[in-house]
Homo-oligomer: A and B are copies of this chain.
Amino acid sequence: MTERQISQAVIRRLPRYYRYLGELLENGVERISSNDLSKKMKVTASQIRQDLNNFGGFGQQGYGYNVKYLYTEIGKILGLDKTHNIVIIGAGNLGQALANYAAFERSGFLLKGIFDINPTLKGMTIRDVPIRMMEELPEFVQNNDIEIAALTIPKTKAVEVAELLVDNGVRAIWNFAHTDLNLPKNVIVENVHLSESLMRLSYNVNRYNYFNAKE
């Protein structure tokens, strides 16, 4: 691997390639041309070739891509061949939804702990993982090699808890709290702001209404 800078736009598309290739594999497809992959994914064939060339390219002119090889290689680029220990902070509906999502485990994300401040949840388990109280968090994170934390707590607490996590060695935050976290540059933050997603939907619905009303 070279130190070449891969644009976030490419990285944004890789998981989608991975998903499509996984579906092809499930359907027993062994080889696919960039044209066919392009039609399936509604991305241009040249876009696909360009994207994959960032990683050295995986196709052979005229032969198309070996689906299994490409799937495996993209998995490696995405780090899915390694395991990552993850904790979830906040055992509300969203935290429970994430905890119950078994597919994460298949991609190498191992749920090690769930934390909450609500004492009535103490000792309950989700998929055999016990819910612990926040006081235990610092020691737990240090002792269990926790790399990633999912934050599904209200925004008022999110900044403080994120700092606590980072101070204890967490290096990536999957942030569902509706606020930006101001963390050191070497900490990776992936935001999922659901209300912003809903606003984009709202914008597009209204824009559609507007143009249709005019016609």
Contacts and interface: CB of A to CB of B under 8 A. Distances in A.
Interface in A182-198: 186, 188, 190, 192-198
Interface in A2-47: 3, 11-12, 14-16, 18-19, 42
Contact of A211 (B3, B77, B104): B3
Given A19-B178, A94-B93, A101-B194, A186 B199 contact: no
A140 interface: no
Given A19-B196, A208-B186, A100 B93 contact: yes
Given A96-B93, A97-B93, A15 B195 contact: yes
Contacts of A148: 201, 205
A147 B175 CA distance: 29
Contacts of A158: none
A201 B108 CA distance: 12
A155 to B, nearest CB: 9
A19 to B, nearest CB: 7
A172 B209 CA distance: 11
Interface of A: 1, 3, 11-12, 14-16, 18-19, 42, 77-80, 82, 84, 92-94, 96-98, 100-101, 103-104, 107-109, 147-148, 171-172, 174, 178, 180, 186, 188, 190, 192-206, 208, 210-211
30 contacts: A1-B210, A11-B200, A11-B204, A14-B200, A15-B193, A15-B199, A15-B200, A16-B193, A19-B193, A78-B199, A79-B202, A79-B205, A80-B202, A84-B202, A93-B93, A94-B94, A94-B97, A97-B97, A101-B195, A104-B195, A107-B195, A107-B199, A108-B202, A109-B202, A172-B204, A174-B197, A188-B201, A188-B204, A190-B200, A190-B201
